[in-house]
Amino acid sequence: MVTACQESRHAAAGHATVGLRGIIRVMEASPGTVAILFADIGGSVALYEAVGDVEAHRRVAESLAFMKAAIERHGGTLLRTVGDSSLASFSSCDDACLAACSMQELHVRGPLSVRVGFHVGPVIHDGGDVYGNAVNIAARVASFARTDEIAASEDAVARLSPGHQARTTLLARREVKGLSTPLGIHRFEWQGRDAAVTLVSASSSKVSATATGRLDIVRGGCRLCVDAAQASIVIGRAADCDLPVDDACASRRHARIEFRHGQFLLIDESTNGTWLVRDDRPDVLLQRDTIVLDGDGRLGLGASPAESESPPLAYRVIQGGSDVV
């Protein structure tokens, strides 16, 4: 027979159990400040078109495995993978930075490239995952990086050790949803400043041969040259662009062409993307991404050259000699 006193004790015990579970749940969902890293593969859509679903899936899976290995090597936690991107958390910004460097190093000789960004801020831990505005900001920071680059928020840079801070460069201050003031975006030189200088100025036959080349680009009666002396040009609707274009589909600062590490890089920074058309390869729509230019072809700003009423930009990469477009 259960007495009233026993019922009271059972009720109290049950209440204590529920209370304890509630406390555990609150602890699991408690806020904390961590470094959040976001990485994704550049040009994966074009990859599926170029090599087919099976081979593209294999390469993407290999890239995600590289990301996971880099995260775990530096004490991070892989929170989730979505499509061709990974999200991870770290106890320190230095660890996140080292993991980002490892990701880039693992992809150097592979067929794919990645862009990485990291931020630091308060998050909610819940069920082995994290949530909060810091996660959204980390993804936004990563979107400002080009493929083969690492970007970091100014908050994350402030928490890096002095040696890592010395390898960062402020790129811009951008409006980011969820922040009342513009966020500083920094680029981290993961290959090292000295290595980058050596690569360009080395006297090896491979680099020397490339360094004598140039890229000619023509639109209508306007011709520009990109080479070691003029290493970067900006194309867009703005009057101060090196190659201004009067085209409603183009952004004010639509794209850049840079001579870097012996290669000519097309870097899209536009709203509508840049079309790359070459006779011997499939057409490519570049959107906030980077691609190496070689041979010759045409560029469409915001629309395919075949569909645009504006004259296309014709380019040709020349390795020495005096050829013209």
Tell me the mean pLDDT in the region 91-97: 95
Phi first, then psi: give them for residue 265, nearest 5 degrees. Answer: -110, 130
Residue 245 burial by CB count (10 A; 0-12/13-18/19+): exposed, middle or buried? buried
Domain ranges of the chain: 31-195, 203-318
Nearest of 76, 75, 48 to residue 60 by alpha carbon = 48
101-134 b/e (C-beta count within 10 Å ≥ 16 → b)? bbbbebbeeeebbbbbbbbbbebebeeeebebeb
76, pLDDT greater than 90:
yes
Q: Report the distance separating Cα 61 and Cα 259, nearest Å.
A: 31
> Does 203-318 match 31-195 at the fold level?
no
Q: 232-236 and 243-244: which strand pairing?
A: parallel
- In CATH, what number does 31-195 get? 3.30.70.1230
User: Are 281 and 49 contacting, i.e. CB atoms less than 8 angstroms apart?
Assistant: no
Distance between first and last Cα of the chain: 101
In this predicted structure, what is the pLDDT of residue 155?
Answer: 94
pLDDT band of 212, cuts 50, 70, 90: low
Q: Report the distance separating Cα 31 and Cα 173, nearest Å.
A: 27
Give the model confidence (pLDDT) of 273-318 as tens digits: 899 998 878 888 888 777 888 889 999 998 888 887 777 799 999 8
Angle (deg, nearest 10), helices 53-73 and 93-107:
140
Helix (H, G, I), strand (E, B), or coil: what is residue 218?
Answer: strand
Q: What does the DSSP assignment read for 107-127?
A: HTTSS-EEEEEEEEEEEEEET
192: left (phi over 0), alpha (psi -120 to 50) or beta: left
Give the model confidence (pLDDT) of 166-208 as tens digits: 889 888 788 777 777 888 999 998 875 333 332 333 333 333 3
Higher pLDDT, 270 or 17: 270
Residue 102 is inside which H or E element, if any? helix 93-107
| CATH class in words for 203-318 | mainly beta
